[in-house]
Amino acid sequence: MKTIIQTFILLLVAVTFTLAQGFKVKASGEQTFNFEDKRNQLKFFSTTPLEDITGISNAVKGKVTLNVSDIKSMKGSISIPVSSIKTAIDLRDEHLQSENWLDAESYPEITFAIKSVSDIKVAADNKIEAMVTGDFTVKGVTKETIADVSITYLDASEQTKQFAPGDLLGVQAKFNILLSEFNVENMIVGQKVADNIEITATLRGSNAK
Amino acid sequence: MNSKQKSVILIGIILIAAVLAWWLISGGEILSKDGIWIEQEVSELDKALGLEPQKVYQEKFILVLVPHAAVFSGAILVISTVLFFIFRTKK
């Protein structure tokens, strides 16, 4: 009986190890990457027949922890202050922060908190493409959102030092939200501002402590 | 300038004023930009990190008209000019 249980456990461990998809890089084990850097960017894009609007924030904050050999272990969150979004029109930025829009005073942050990782494709030893499900919070409303994400792991080198010490994680993510689902509803939504907003994240994180 | 020409100018001014009022009501002020986004070239490191080009903000004032407002105003101006010449007093 003992031998059967041992064999079963060994098989379970072997199957888990085989199914785990991760990076084949020098680093191993759990790594935490800090994404707080002004060069990181979150972009909001609205397109209507009247005009296209791009809103950008360079005030990204957040940390992501993952086991290098198992991308499914990825946890963490990324956020930006609503007040940091610039649309290239000062008056529009003011409107964006007002109560009718994102209400920056009552809800100062927009956040994406990672819940799970699925549809993992290993594109290269250090590059993984996956769908990342997370809780996206805008104006106090949280909705489960799925982001199309590409993650690249770079071991520390002379090249990575240009950005920061330590290993680097590059994250390119894209997802769409409906403003109406986040209680952002007024007569301009659907006219000059689309209800469907495309959000793109271009992030670099370092695991240097 | 005869009375017909005066009428053409008056009607033209009223119509253009109406179009501009409509432009202001529909957000003319907010469409004028205080800055522009310029796409940055991707660095070698960003390429290695699989990142797409980013945009950087540059301060620059641009007066933006609602396209319809510009088209209507232009059309009214052209029609008024043509009518002004058609209605001129022939000697």
Task: Note the pLDDT of residue A17.
Answer: 46
3-state helix, strand, coil in chain A (%, to 5): 15, 50, 35
CA A36-A115-A29 angle, to 5 degrees, is 65
Q: Where residue A191 sits, what CATH number does that domain have?
A: 2.40.128.110
User: pTM score, two decimals?
Assistant: 0.77
Supply the range of the domain harboring residue A63.
21-206
Task: Note the pLDDT of residue B72.
Answer: 83
Smallest CA-to-CA distance from A72 within A15, A132, A152 is with: A132
Report the number of distinct structural domains present in chain A: 1
In the predicted structure, residue B76 carries a pLDDT above the cut 50: yes
- Is B33 in Cβ contact with A170 (below 8 Å)? no
pLDDT in tens, A84-140: 999 988 888 998 999 989 999 999 999 999 999 999 999 999 999 999 999 999 999
The DSSP code for A46 is E
In the predicted structure, residue A33 carries a pLDDT above the cut 60: yes
At residue A125, what are phi and psi to the nearest 5 degrees? -55, -35
Q: Tell me the residue ranges of DSSP E strands in chain A.
A: 30-34, 41-47, 52-57, 61-67, 70-81, 109-124, 127-138, 141-154, 168-178, 196-206
This model of the complex carries an ipTM of 0.81
Q: How many beta-carbon contacts under 8 Å exist across A and B?
A: 65
Domain segments of chain B as ranges: 1-26+66-91, 31-64
Among A40, A91, A157, which would you mutate to test the B interface (most chain B Cβ atoms within 10 Å of its Cβ)?
A91
A158 interface with B at CB cutoff 8 Å:
no
Q: Which of residues 84-103 of A touch B (CB under 8 A)?
A: 86, 88-92, 95
